[in-house]
Amino acid sequence: MVQSLDRSQGRAGGISVGSSDAPTFTGNKALQIEEPLIFEMGQPGRCAVDLPEPPKVKDRLNGLRRAGEVGLPGLSEPQVVQHYTRLSQKNYAIDMGVYPLGSCTMKHNPRINEKVARLAGIGDLHPLQPISTVQGALELIDSLAHWLKTLTGMPAVAMSPAAGAHGEMCGMMAIAAALEAKGERAKRRIVLAPESAHGTNPATAAALGFTVKPIPANERGRVDLAALKSALGPEVAAIMLTNPNTCGLFESEIIEISKAVHEAGAYFYCDGANFNAIVGRVRPGDLGVDCMHINLHKTFSTPHGGGGPGAGPVVLSAALAPYAPYPWIVKQGDAWTVAEDGAKVDGKPLGRLKAFHGQMGMFTRALAYIMSHGADGLKQAAEDAVLSANYVMAALKDVMTPAFEGPCMHEALFDDSFLKDTGVSTLDFAKAMIDEGYHPMTMYFPLVVHGAMLIEPTESQAKEDLDLFIAAMRSLTERAKSGTAAEDFKAAPRYSPRRRLDETLAARKPILRWRPSNSPPGGDPMRQAAE
């Protein structure tokens, strides 16, 4: 039984000696080391690199030499290694276990991807080397492009967007460009998006000057086709739709939707965040999609890296392909070339979205993943992802409350009605999962489901690990429903490197950088407390 913390006494003071929360002299707890900021560690005279004395030359800086110190701390190499290793141990990660963060596809990140991205002939290339010296790099990009086009059944792909949201920008700009070419850009100012859409969808449309109109969902969690049809008209530029949608459901009327959209003269933007559920089994091109971004960091396993970098290539229909942004990688005879800004191509590029040629490091990793899986393995991965989500759904549906009737695709969505009158919120429940050794699922998204809990196990978890996760979730629901554990849940997490953090304070009095004045002398406050 978890010992409840006496919050009235604050800090660790309410814990009896002998409990797991007993204070230590250093403030550390075995492998959990309290770690100061680098700015609190440095000493003048320490340096972790050995660089030669620069040759004496005449200064050619136009008299603009930097005066005074930059203010960087000096550390030795072992200190730097220890510091960042300790920090790393305060993170949860896919490499540690189940990471069921819905909508994020936290699948295994294979290390061969990292290895091949670091080959000198790939990782150590300048983007503006003579084209004749980077033929292999261009071939690599085109190989990935070929896979993406074939898997989606689309004729073209813009490779340069740096992330999913950047891909959305690219796709919606292509739609704006196509409308402009038809002389309709001024009159088609409305973009339709379901209320359950990712926040990036309305943000992207609004940035491009479109007015976003929400379309409602039906009781099955899908787009209400009748409502959509009545919203369509000569002022509508596009619909932005995620499929499988953010409720983890396949839009079963998708073909009717795309038909209606096209008949109204609008375009169909598909948010491909959830492509992992259908890759190898469904080609978005067969659904009438005009463009779709692919998050290489979701479906194709490039590492999430603590929030990036990502990559968001956009596949384009024949109607939008001419507007793909620079650069275009083109094969001329046996040689590859790059059509850069201003170059004549068979189209009217919408411009340039990013310096150079895109996220090459991510292309390499994604291609290594794709080649490892092959056409057969990608299909199996999608099926296993869907199977795992349905398994979790089936195993929890009697104790939690599924938001919609099944089957789901790659993620299982629950609402918080099973927590009604328990005093435990979705947030509390999520934080309690942390104490059980799990990263919480996505919570409070999609917005259309009350207290949403979106669980995406992915295909990467063994059945026995899913079974333990399910057992832990069942145990938590039991405790929550016992009616006596609300305070326990509110106090969670207890065993993580930090307990709940005061986000209101952070936003009310923002401290976005270290300054000598906001650091207590001697470093970390916890060290002080221990002394």
Partner 1 sequence: MRYLPLTDVDRRDMLARIGAKSVDELFRDVPPSARLGAKVAGLPDHQGELEVERAFQAFAAKNVSPAAAPFFIGAGAYRHHVPATVDYMIQRGEFLTSYTPYQPEITQGTLQYLFEFQTQVTLLTGMEVANASMYDGSTGAAEAVLMANRVTRRHKALISGGLHPHYRGVIQTAARWEGFDAKVGKPDVEGLEDLIASIDKETSCVVVQNPSFFGHVRDFAKLAEACHAAGALLIVVVTEVVSLGLIKPPGEMGADIVVCEGQSIGNGLGFGGPYVGLFATREKYMRQMPGRLVGETVDADGKRGFVLTLSTREQHIRREKATSNICTNAGLCALAFTVHLTLLGEAGFRRLAELNHAKASQLADLLAAVPGVTMLNQSFFNEFTVRLPKPAAPVVEALAAKRILGGLPVSRLIPDDPSVANLLLLAATETATEVGMAPLVAGLKEVL
The footprint of partner 1 on residues 135-174 (CB under 8 A) is 135-137, 139-140, 147, 150-151, 162-166, 168-169, 173
How many angstroms separate the CA atoms of 432 and 37, rounded? Answer: 28
| Cβ closest to partner 1, residue 301 vs residue 422 | 301
- CA-wise closest residue to 301 among 363, 383, 360, 392: 363
Site for partner 1 in 342-361 (CB under 8 A): 342-343, 350-361
Distances (CA, A) of 143 to 133, 138, 147, 292, 382: 18, 9, 6, 19, 21
Residue 306 beta carbon to partner 1: minimum distance, rounded to whole angstroms? 4
Pairing type for strands 211-215 and 190-194 reads: parallel
Site for partner 1 in 400-439 (CB under 8 A): 407, 409, 430-431, 434, 439
| Cβ closest to partner 1, residue 266 vs residue 284 | 284
The single residue among 157, 176, 178, 237 that binds partner 1, judged by CB under 8 A, is: 176
Is 471 one of the binding residues for partner 1 (CB under 8 A)? no
| Cβ closest to partner 1, residue 421 vs residue 464 | 464
Q: Give the three-class secondary structure for 156.
A: strand
Cα dihedral value 20, 23, 25, 28, nearest 10: 60
Is 461 one of the binding residues for partner 1 (CB under 8 A)? yes
- CB atoms closer than 10 angstroms to residue 303: 19
Are 239 and 202 a contacting pair, CB within 8 Å?
A: no
| Cβ closest to partner 1, residue 265 vs residue 377 | 377
Residue 475 beta carbon to partner 1: minimum distance, rounded to whole angstroms? 18
Select from 262-270, 416-424, 475-483, 488-496 the region that touches partner 1 (CB under 8 A). Answer: 488-496
- CA-wise closest residue to 153 among 270, 16, 12: 270
| Cβ closest to partner 1, residue 351 vs residue 483 | 351
| Cβ closest to partner 1, residue 130 vs residue 421 | 130
Is 524 one of the binding residues for partner 1 (CB under 8 A)? yes
Angle between helices 360-396 and 135-152 (to 10 degrees): 30
Is 181 one of the binding residues for partner 1 (CB under 8 A)? no
Is 514 one of the binding residues for partner 1 (CB under 8 A)? yes
Is 368 one of the binding residues for partner 1 (CB under 8 A)? yes
The single residue among 29, 229, 262, 379 that binds partner 1, judged by CB under 8 A, is: 379
| Cβ closest to partner 1, residue 18 vs residue 510 | 510
| Cβ closest to partner 1, residue 96 vs residue 471 | 96
Total of chain residues touching partner 1, rule CB under 8 A: 215
Question: Which residues face 214 on adjacent strands?
Answer: 193
Site for partner 1 in 215-244 (CB under 8 A): none
Site for partner 1 in 42-101 (CB under 8 A): 42, 44-49, 51-52, 54-67, 69-75, 77, 80-81, 83-85, 87-96, 99, 101
Q: The tokens of 216 are what?
A: 């409602």
| Cβ closest to partner 1, residue 342 vs residue 421 | 342
Select from 131-139, 226-234, 262-270, 314-322 the region that touches partner 1 (CB under 8 A). Answer: 131-139
Backbone angles phi, psi at 183, to 5 degrees: 75, 25
Select from 205-213, 225-233, 262-270, 413-421 the region that touches partner 1 (CB under 8 A). Answer: 205-213
Residue 332 beta carbon to partner 1: minimum distance, rounded to whole angstroms? 15
Q: What is the 3-state secondary structure (H, E, C) of 302-323?
A: CCCCCCCCCCCCEEECCCCHHH
For residue 158, give the DSSP letter: E
The single residue among 3, 6, 19, 37 that binds partner 1, judged by CB under 8 A, is: 37
| Cβ closest to partner 1, residue 255 vs residue 483 | 255
For residue 519, give the DSSP letter: S
Letter string b/e over residues 7-35, b meaning 16 or more CB atoms within 10 A of that residue's CB:
eeeeeeeebeeeeeeeeeeebeeeebbbb
Q: Give the three-class secondary structure for 401.
A: strand
- CA-wise closest residue to 328 among 314, 341, 317, 319: 341
| Cβ closest to partner 1, residue 326 vs residue 328 | 326
For residue 486, give the DSSP letter: H
